[in-house]
Structure 1
Amino acid sequence: MYKLKYLLMSFGVALIGVLCISFTSVKSNAVSNNVYDLSEWQGNFTDNQVKTLKNEVPFVILRVQFGSAYHDKTFAHNVALMKKYGVPYGVYSFSQYTSPSDAVSEAKTLYSRAPEARFYVNDYEQQTVKSGGTNAATKAWVDALRPLVGNRKILFYSYQSFMVSHAADAVSSYDGYWLAAYQTNEPQREHVLWQYTDHFYSPALNQYVDASVLTQKNSSWFIDATNNSNNNKPSKPKSNVTYTKENKTLTVKTAVKYNFYNHVPGNNYFSELHRTHYGRTFHGKNVTVDLKATVNGRTYYRAYENGKLLGWINQNGLGPHISYSKVNMHKKVKLNSNYRFYNHVTQSHFADFKTMGTAREYAGKTVHITGRAIKDGWKTYYYKCYYEGKFIGWIYQRGI
């Protein structure tokens, strides 16, 4: 999906290429707010993979077909495992319809191949309509499926520019818009699901996959509807968390006692919050973060070590990543400087942080600098200083 991830057909059916972009991963023992869309490109899954997947995502979205003529080679196998281990699934068709009548045929074929799916998606991202108009064909698709699926949702998937050009009128006939947009901030365009990456690591499947994030609707909105009109299940509350994509390295602080969790603490969408790792296990370790979450005035980061998900941790449990290097130089401490010498670089992870002296105590004196440190994103350094052979501390470079 997105960026023309499609097959070309000739003399029957032949498969070729997929285009990729990038992003990262999720925990295998805790259901997240990420949703994977999967196709034959991910291969046949194993029992163990699907059992683990059940605890990794609230549901998956499986590709069934490429147009009506080609069906995914792995769908029958993989959907059987989803049913066996109770993983809810929706399905999508990578649409290739050429006219309204062809769209009707594709929609009905999708249903015949996946009659038990929790919801259905028209993945229309490649312009193939030759007659009758794109909006008319896209509306014919949903109109053909609607009588077959009862209360189950029918979604439209595409990226915004394509939707505006080819389905701006028809999209209102669908229950929701699944928006593909690989960007840092959540799109302003109205949507029910946001696909933000095609390079998200799934520990359960041990590979990178397409991923979307639930921010506008909870999972029950997608999967709790039935094929009749008697669906009265209460919905879970909407998530009260705001997510922003990040891409940086931080260091786990030693002096604080924040831990890692399977979900953002305070997220009212998830009822089961549990610790995934003690923070102390990773004190002083560098972690990468790919998402920032804000809830009830607090900020959390989703953190990984060496590509393995640790979980969500309060921002106060992390400090800046600091790069250290050796130098050999001498500088004179400035007069009337208000800076101080510390035993460690400020905001570093060390627990025994303390003041060792003031710059005024050494004003006008020449100190020997043996090391320097710089925080990620900074252009100025901290210097490791000695005076008359004695370590007197780290000081910000503007102090000397």
Structure 2
Amino acid sequence: MIIDISEWQHPDQIDYAQLAKQIDHVIVRVQYGSAYCDKYYQTHLQRFQDLGIPTAVYAWVRGTSHEDMAQEARTFYERAKVFQPCFYWLDVEEQSMIDMRGGVEVYRQTLKKLTNQKVGVYVAHHLYRQFNLAVEQFDALWLPSYGQNTGSYQGSDPTVNKHYDLHQYTSNGRLSGYNGVLDFNRLSGKKALNYFTGKAGNLPTWGIAGKGYFTLATAIHLRTAPNTSAQSLGILPTGSTVQYDAFAHEQGYVWIRQKRHDGTYAYLATGKSDGKKRTDASWGIFN
């Protein structure tokens, strides 16, 4: 099972551990054009990666010129690169410039050079012929076709191009672990799952391994990812002690990682950092 999600799936409504048991791969939206960053993409990516689910990323394309398309690609890469996704996708569902074919090709070329990764394209079914994108230049083609959109595959395959690799067949899918609806996708059979997720087994271990305990000298947010914009799991009060198994200097802080009872990880900032060393006293005591 392959699902794709965005900020419309709020982390507070997801039991990541339960959902992860039912899926093989997840594709997470990072941005809606360069000006809008998805609110929860970091949380989604980190939580699924912690659970061992191969994670890819996608960006809704909104560039208004060739240069704007190139800038969107650069912004997409900068936002996603820390998670080292196994695949990048462009989501083309609106006409944002006259020369969509040329603009999307600039986007692809720019992203390909930056990532040295596979880059695929998703094209809205009703706009496929109008845009006439150079889909043959991409590493994979992803097309939607829902039929009655019942939540299950009913044999309604894409017709605008039969050489697709991934088929989004419903937007009304349901799985335990999330009460809302989900987009479900299936492989066409032309490429194996490991073509899209092949890098997953080589995802680097986060941070530097090191076990210990940290006792807070002040109240600090416990988060789902090592970033101050990631979802807060709660504010740990002064005097709380956290057992950790790794640490890293990221996003201006020294973070420690806590393994949770459900197999996922939580992250706690313990003081400020310049990316290599502490720049101030830690916000607690290590032992």
Please state whether the residue corresponding to 1:135 is helix, strand or coil: helix
Q: Which residue of 2 is the match for residue 36 of structure 1?
A: 3
Alignment pair present for 1:80 and 2:51: no
Instruction: State the shift of 1:171 in Å.
Output: 1.4
User: Aligned letter for 1:199?
Assistant: N
The runs of at least 4 consecutive aligned structure 1 residues that moved more than 3 Å come to none
Alignment pair present for 1:162 and 2:127: yes
Please state whether the residue corresponding to 1:42 is helix, strand or coil: coil
Whether the 8 Å CA contact 2:26–2:54 is kept in 1: the answer is yes
Percent identity of paired positions between Structure 1 and Structure 2 = 30
User: Aligned letter for 1:119?
Assistant: F
Cα distance between partner residues in 1 of 2:107 and 2:44: 25
Deviation sequence 1:246-268 (CA, Å, 0-9, x none):
xxxxxxxxxxxxxxxxxxxxxxx
Cα distance between partner residues in 2 of 1:225 and 1:100: 30
Q: Which of 194, 216, 219 is matched with 1:220 structurally?
A: 194
Instruction: State the shift of 1:225 in Å.
Output: 4.3
Instruction: State the shift of 1:89 in Å.
Output: 0.9
**Count of matched residue pairs:** 189
User: Aligned letter for 1:172?
Assistant: E
Cα distance between partner residues in 1 of 2:79 and 2:12: 19
Instruction: State the shift of 1:68 in Å.
Output: 0.3
Matches within 5 A, 1:93-108: 93-108=59-74
Deviation sequence 1:267-308 (CA, Å, 0-9, x none):
xxxxxxxxxxxxxxxxxxxxxxxxxxxxxxxxxxxxxxxxxx
Alignment pair present for 1:146 and 2:120: no
Q: Which residue of 1 is the match for residue 144 of structure 2?
A: 180
Whether the 8 Å CA contact 1:65–1:94 is kept in 2: the answer is yes
TM-score between both structures, scaled by the size of structure 2: 0.62
Deviation sequence 1:49-92 (CA, Å, 0-9, x none):
22222221111010100100110111122222122222111111
Instruction: State the shift of 1:98 in Å.
Output: 0.8
User: Aligned letter for 1:164?
Assistant: R
Deviation sequence 1:90-126 (CA, Å, 0-9, x none):
1111111111111111111111111111111110111
Alignment pair present for 1:57 and 2:30: no
Instruction: State the shift of 1:160 in Å.
Output: 3.2
The structure with the largest alpha-carbon Rg is 1
Structure number with higher relative contact order (C-alpha < 8 Å, ≥ 6 residues apart): 2
TM-score between both structures, scaled by the size of structure 1: 0.45
Cα distance between partner residues in 2 of 1:55 and 1:135: 39
Q: Call closer, same or farther: CA 1:219–1:204 in 2, change over 3 Å.
A: farther
Cα distance between partner residues in 2 of 1:157 and 1:181: 12
Please state whether the residue corresponding to 2:4 is helix, strand or coil: strand
Q: Which residue of 1 is the match for residue 246 of structure 2?
A: none
